[in-house]
């Protein structure tokens, strides 16, 4: 029997990548929900799902009130529907390392984490909370959502990039590594860190300064234009190159 998987935010950066992978595998029926969809769909989806990936969130809205409405209140409603149906399916929430910050975004992600954990403690399904760092890869939106996407998109088109602090170190996850970790959760093979949150293994967290990253991507552009083969010097460079190619 197929596993029914509900994905909120299915059309976003992480959602699109997750959907793409799951649709290539057998044994899954996907319930995809996005902000433009009829909210009544969630009544059926929450009744029949065996696993929930809650990826719906806003990062840089025009109005800070959207943090409360989307990152907290929408999740609250989804969890309430699960409880109404007596559905104890696992709930995977994508949170952020910024959940520790005293910003409107950080507070909204902290509130979402609390909601999922309280849902589990009060008879709901297992709470799986990922605190993700900056994640890069195909489908991330340039000039608004992802610095890696912005650099790749603009440099490929000879558009300017702005680097206020070239020495600033970025901590990055690659989207395929994140999705692989998510897939393992479908079969319950991972354990959280000591603080109860899930993260990728340390070896899959890449550190690079903004200046170094820009230099690498400019090098990719020049290689492509000369028609030369790319020889990755390390795993991070290979993943960044694949990302760059996706923006050509």
Any idea which residues carry the catalytic annotation?
105
Mean pLDDT, range 114-133, rounded to an integer: 97
* CA atoms within a 13 Å half-sphere pointing along the CA-CB vector of 225: 10
The full 3-state SS of the chain, as one line of letters, equals CCEEEEEECCCCHHHHHHHHHHHHCCCEEEEEECCCCCCCHHHHHHHHCCEEEECCCCCCCCCCHHHHHHHHHHHHHHHHHHHHCCCCCCEEEEEEHHHHCCCHHHHHHHHHHHHHHHHHHCCCCCEEEEEECEEECCCCCCCCCCHHHHHHHHHHCCCCCCCCCCCCEEEEEEHHHHHHHHHHHCCCCCCCCCCCCECCCHHHCEEEEHHHHHHHHHHHHHHHHHCCCCCCCCHHHHHHHHHHHCCC
- Tokens 């460079």 locate to 237
How high is the pLDDT of residue 26?
93
Q: Residue 1: pLDDT above 90? A: no
**Architecture field, domain 1-132:** 3-Layer(aba) Sandwich (3.40)
Check if CATH label 3.40.50.720 holds for domain 133-171+201-248: yes
Confidence (pTM): 0.96
For the stretch 16-70, pLDDT in tens is: 999 999 999 999 999 999 999 999 999 999 999 999 999 999 988 878 889 999 9
How high is the pLDDT of residue 6?
98
Q: Residue 244: pLDDT above 90? A: yes
Domain boundaries of the chain, sorted by first residue = 1-132, 133-171+201-248
How high is the pLDDT of residue 62?
79
How high is the pLDDT of residue 59?
85
Q: Using an 8 Å Cβ cutoff, are 43 and 81 in contact?
A: yes
How high is the pLDDT of residue 192?
97
pLDDT class for 140, splitting at 50, 70, 90? very high
For the stretch 172-231, pLDDT in tens is: 999 999 999 999 999 888 999 999 999 999 999 999 999 999 999 999 999 999 999 999
pLDDT class for 153, splitting at 50, 70, 90? very high
- Give bridge partners of residue 30 from the DSSP assignment: 5
Q: Do 1-132 and 133-171+201-248 come out as alike in CATH topology? A: yes
Q: Which of these, 211, 195, 239, 9, lies nearest to 97 by C-alpha position?
A: 195
- Tokens 């340390």 locate to 202
């Amino acid at each position: 029997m197929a596993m029914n998987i509900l994905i909120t935010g299915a059309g976003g950066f992480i959602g699109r990548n997750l959907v793409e992978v799951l649709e290539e595998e057998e044994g899954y029926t996907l319930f995809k929900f996005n902000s433009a969809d009829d909210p009544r769909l969630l009544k059926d989806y929450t009744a029949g799902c065996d696993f929930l990936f809650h990826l719906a969130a806003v990062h840089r809205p025009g109005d800070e009130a959207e943090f409360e409405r989307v990152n907290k209140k929408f999740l609250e409603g989804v969890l309430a529907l699960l409880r109404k149906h007596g559905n104890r399916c696992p709930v995977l929430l994508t949170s952020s390392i910024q959940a520790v910050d005293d910003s409107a975004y950080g507070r909204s992600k902290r509130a979402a984490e609390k909601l999922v954990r309280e849902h589990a403690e009060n008879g709901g399904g297992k709470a799986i909370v990922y605190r993700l760092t900056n994640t890069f890869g195909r489908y991330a939106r340039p000039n608004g959502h992802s610095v890696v996407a912005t650099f790749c998109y603009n440099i490929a088109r000879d558009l300017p990039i702005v680097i206020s602090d070239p020495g600033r170190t970025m901590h990055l996850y690659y989207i395929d590594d994140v999705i692989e970790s998510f897939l393992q959760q479908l079969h319950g093979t991972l354990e959280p860190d000591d603080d109860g949150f899930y993260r990728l293994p340390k070896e899959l967290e890449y550190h690079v300064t903004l200046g170094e990253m820009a230099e690498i991507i400019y090098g990719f552009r020049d290689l492509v234009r000369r028609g030369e083969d790319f020889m990755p010097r390390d795993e991070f460079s290979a993943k960044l190159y694949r990302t760059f190619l996706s923006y050509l």
